Structure 1
Amino acid sequence: MKSLKRELGLLEVTLSGVGIILGAGIYALIGEAAPLSGNTLWLSFLISSVVAAFTALSYAELSSMFPHSSAEYEYVKNAMGDRIAFVIGWLIILSAVISSTTVAVGFSNYLSVIFDLPKFLSSISLIALLSFILFVGIKESARVAIVFTSIEAAGLLIITFIGIPYYGTVNYLEAPLGLNGIFASSALIFFAFLGFEEIVKLSDEAKEPHKTIPKGIILAMIISTTLYMLVAFSSVSILGWEGLSQSNAPFSQIAYSVFGTNGSFLLSIIALFATSNTVLLMILAGSRIVYGMSKSGSIPHVFSKVHYKTRTPWIAIILISLASIGFLFIGEIDFLASVTNYTLFASFIFINASAIILRYTSPNTERSFKIPLNVKWVPILPIFGIITCILLLSNLEYNAILLGGILTIIGFLISFLKRK
């Protein structure tokens, strides 16, 4: 049986991670967070990065132990057994599908501002085109992701550099709602860091994955946090938190205030690359965990088939693509995005718990990376990861928690039925 090609080095893995993390969220999120934290927006980004790091470090250690594309499924299986692992894998697949659908709609919204095209057709076309790129090969997909990530990061660097002359024009400790506002903003901004968990899905296509993947996770988090904080400083320096909070497209507004119409148009074009990159990498991640779970026998073997020429899991790619297109027929995309957050937070709780359990049950398993700060065999940071994920999960809207719970139960039912 053919396997996936190992062609990704640390550069490709890191930049793919940066591309997923930066994603499209920051381009809209900063305007919603500004009225909560005021000019201390930079502090909210720093707090969110620390919270995200708790779980990211658990992923780094687990990926060094089990460098497989089945990722979360593999980690939880070794810690808690196959049934719970299947449910977590099921939730991760759903999160990839719904995320790619949501961001594809975001792409079509940006595109409709520039060109008068049907949004539904634009979303389908984007998913189909990016799926074809993924079918062609992982090296080609990585090259596209690197180009798109570079453009995406360039947009944030543009905001950073044009803000430098304005530094010192505002009080960076001004918080209109005090500490409550800063923490509320941090909870919202946390979503901008989601994506680090997708890096582990590249394990079967990375060179020396037990070393490359953990390093890629940590580097991607450091790069993304640095960019986010620089953007936060520049954004409040140019518009102030009041101006940011009043704009539906804050980055376009910032560019417009400095460069005029041309600047606004440029940032809108960059946003198209940002959304495209996120969809590409989410379909990639979703197809790889389907491939990994199929290869381990958890789901039908057909999804682990690798194309004889391109060496890509073509049936898994088709499955994720069709599922993403299918969700386009469902309204309330914002609500579905909240359901995605449920699937991720629920999964993160089990990932952090797995890191703790495996320290006790598999102390001798080789770990190329170990979570720092331990009391005897117990790693402390995953405990903070569990606590923060429970808090974030409890703050989601009730209907999202309800639907997420139903999807979780469906996953359990499937796990029982597939054993009969």
Structure 2
Amino acid sequence: MKFGRVKPLDAILATAKAKSLEPTLGWFQLTLFGIGCVIGTGIFVLTSAGAQKAGPGLMLAFAIAGLICIVAALCYAEIAAMIPVAGSAYTYTYSVMGELLAWTVGWALVLEYAVAASAVAVGWSGYFSGTILNQFFGIELPAWLAGGPLALGGVPGGFINLPAVVIAGLVTWLLMIGTNESAKVNAVLVAIKVTALTVFIVLTLPQSEMANFNPFLPAGVFGGFGSGVGAVGAAATIFFAYVGFDAVSTAAEETKDPQRNVPIGLIGSLGFCTVFYILVAAGAIGTIGGQPIMGPGGVPFPAGSEALAQQCALPQYADMLVCSNEALAHVLRMIGFSTVGNLLGIAAFVALPSVILILLFGQTRIFFVMSRDGLLPESLSKIHPKWKTPYIVTAITGAVVAFAAAFLPVGQLADIANAGTLYAFAMVAVAVMMLRKSEPTRERKFRVPALWLVGPATIAGCIFLFLNLPFEAMIVLPAWGGIGLVIYYLYGYKSSHLGKGIVTVVDLDNDPAHIPHP
């Protein structure tokens, strides 16, 4: 199953050596990178939406998404340790299934990271404007600076979401000046988030009541094809939160001892975050309940819809979990811990930039490797002489994300980002299985146990969640892919280094050299 030109593994490793990023990260930093992205988006942004889709079944939704991510992470761990270069699923696909499919995977990852980073920037802006400026300083940001004209759920009279632009710009600058510096800042932010959520769990679980979990599955397990509701529909949405472990693999080239540290970072961050998700969901639902607001036919109103907003404006629904824009702080206020709730809101405000940081990090590394392969202009992969980072592509990516957060409807696009993510994860599982056949003797510091089961389970799980996304989200992936194919055939196909017969290999002295590839 090969489509187009296949780049040999030795050539991929040699290319990375010839034009490489400086290895500065250890297993602990990698794990924190994963935790930094995973804990944040799902807990602070998607908890209410998940409850509206599944009710108390949100706990099951987290377990479903986590289980699928665990099998995918095992596949990532083997192939990332075997091919420790930047590029994640794009690079892995290039080495096994060919350039055309690799381009489609890279292009899908571009959609995933950009949409997610923009969405979180908008979420951070809400905390900044509503909690920090308004609650603590009594400052009301003018409407024209608080949201873009196209923002979903919109701000009347909005022109630009200035706080979202500022935070995207600051995170971009941080990434440009150095990966190690970014990791240090991220470690502090992760500590704040973990502490805040631990306090939440300690305060809420003892006050949980079993009656709040009944009925456990008010919308059922399966909401139906394209409906996006039920436990599986909620799992398809909150899968957005698990993109963090994928970002860990994009840092493989900048990792010391990647054969050991990448698997630890991948599986460690995912396992830690999945347990946290389930405990926090149990605490939130067990204390104040998490039943969805039902629409016609006993089907929950779509999360983030105007119809749901109208229901939440009614007094009998105003205090429900599904109607809160800051779910966890709301829960604490409802059970008598207002001060702690406000502090948790501050923690979310402080910590969400770490999510943006990791998403931007992953985005720029995908662009960097596609540029290094000639599929995008090579000028994008320039390394700054002092900072040792791909500063040009980082600046461009940051500008695009800031623009989207300022003007476009990105606040509710988690489902769209998931479509690209699920496609990439499935392709990684295929690549691992094919490499076991084509490269059986190559050293593997980490091997997926029972690959005959784990590989197909990953693919089936990704397809399963994709089919449970809202129909509108499902059609975005082929549409975006079509645009990507046009760009590939107009530029990438002709400019590809592999297509020109330029392949980097390692000679007898282990020095990279470019030679024609027959």
TM-score by length of 2: 0.75
> What is the CA–CA distance in structure 2 between the aligned matches of 1:344 and 1:31, rounded to whole Å?
22
Kept after mapping to 2: 8 A contact 1:87/1:415: no
Alpha-carbon shift at residue 259 of structure 1 (Å):
4.5
**1:362 & 1:141 partners in 2: Cα distance?**
36
Identify which of 334, 341, 344 aligns with 1:257: 334
Q: Which amino acid aligns with 2:355?
A: T
Contact 1:135 1:314 (C-alpha < 8 Å) held by counterparts: yes
CA distance in structure 2 between the partners assigned to 1:36 and 1:159 by the alignment: 23
**Alpha-carbon deviations, 1:370-397, whole Å to 9, x = none?**
11114xxxx3212121112122222333
Secondary structure (helix, strand or coil) at the match of 2:290 reads helix
Q: Is the 8 A contact 1:148 1:277 kept in 2?
A: yes
Q: How far 1:408 sits from its partner (Å)?
A: 0.5
CA contact (8 A) 1:20 1:277 kept: yes
1: CA distance between counterparts of 2:31 and 2:378? 30
Change (3 A) 1:34 1:95: closer
Unaligned runs of at least 5 residues, structure 2: 1-17, 134-139, 147-160, 223-229, 292-319, 495-518
**1:127 lines up with 2:168 in the alignment:** yes
**What does residue 242 of structure 2 align with?**
193
Change (3 A) 1:36 1:130: closer
1:213: Cα distance to partner? 0.9
- Deviation, structure 1 residue 103: 0.9
Equivalent residue, structure 1, for 2:286: 237
1:52 to 56, 66, 69: 69
Q: Is 1:14–1:220's contact at 8 Å kept on the other side of the alignment? A: yes
The CA deviation at 1:98 is: 1.7
Q: Structure 1 residues 164 and 399, CA, compared in 2 at 3 Å: closer, same or farther?
A: closer
**Structure 2 match to 1:387:** 460
Contact 1:2 1:308 in 2 (8 A): no
Equivalent residue, structure 2, for 1:358 = 435
Alignment of 1:77-116 (within 5 A): 77-114=94-131, 115=133, 116=140
Q: Does 1:288 align with 2:365?
A: yes
Partner secondary structure for residue 307 of structure 1: coil
Structure with the largest fraction of helix: 1
Q: Superposition pairs for residues 393-412 of structure 1, below 5 Å?
A: 393-412=466-485
| Structure 1 residue 28: Cα displacement | 3.3
Structure 1 unaligned segments of length 5 or more: list them: none
Counterparts of 1:329-348 in structure 2, within 5 Å, are 330-334=407-411, 336-348=413-425
Confirm or deny that 1:148 pairs with 2:225. no
Percent identity for Structure 1 against Structure 2: 29
1:163 corresponds to 2:236: no
Task: Quote the residue 2:257 is aligned against.
Answer: 208
1:260 Cα deviation after fit: 4.2
- How far apart, CA to CA, are the structure 1 residues paired with 2:114 and 2:221? 36
Moved more, 37-46 or 341-350: 37-46
Q: TM-score normalised to the size of structure 1? A: 0.92
Q: Count how many residue pairs are aligned between Structure 1 and Structure 2.
A: 416
Distance 1:331 1:236 in 2: 32
What is the alpha-carbon distance in structure 2 between the residues aligned to residue 84 and residue 131 of structure 1? 29
Deviation at 1:358, TM superposition (A): 1.5
1:409 partner letter: G
Mapped partners of 1:291, 1:410: distance in 2: 20
Letter in 1 for 2:450: L
Closer/same/farther in 2, CA of residues 205 and 165 from structure 1, 3 Å limit:
same
Question: How much has 1:205 moved relative to structure 2?
Answer: 1.2
Determine if the alignment matches structure 1 residue 27 to structure 2 residue 101. no
Tell me whether 1:419 sits opposite 2:493 in the alignment. Answer: yes
**What is the alpha-carbon distance in structure 1 between the residues aligned to residue 395 and residue 212 of structure 2?**
51
Letter aligned with residue 339 of structure 1: I
Whether 1:321 aligns to 2:362 is no
Q: Which amino acid aligns with 1:207?
A: K
The match for 1:279 is: 356
Alpha-carbon distance in structure 2 between the residues aligned to 1:218 and 1:201: 14
Instruction: Specify whether residues 60 and 101 from structure 1 end up closer, same or farther in structure 2 by C-alpha distance, changes over 3 A only.
Output: same
Contact 1:170 1:236 in 2 (8 A): no
For residues 404 and 52 of structure 2, the distance between their equivalents in structure 1, rounded to whole angstroms, comes to 32
Partners of 2:104 and 2:53 in 1: how far apart? 36
The superposition leaves residues 238-276 of structure 1 with CA deviations (integer Å, 9 ceiling, x where unpaired) of: 223345335343201122134543223212211212321
8 Å Cα contact 1:335-1:400 kept in structure 2: no
Change in Cα spacing, 1:231 to 1:411, as seen in structure 2 (3 Å) is: same
2:178–2:387 contact (8 Å) kept in structure 1 = yes
What is the CA deviation profile of residues 39-79 of structure 1, one whole-angstrom value per residue up to 9, with x for unaligned ones?
45433322221112122211111101111112212100111
Give per-residue Cα distances to partners, 1:394-420, cap 9 Å, x unaligned.
233333333321210122222222333
Distance across 1 between alignment mates of 2:54 and 2:469: 19
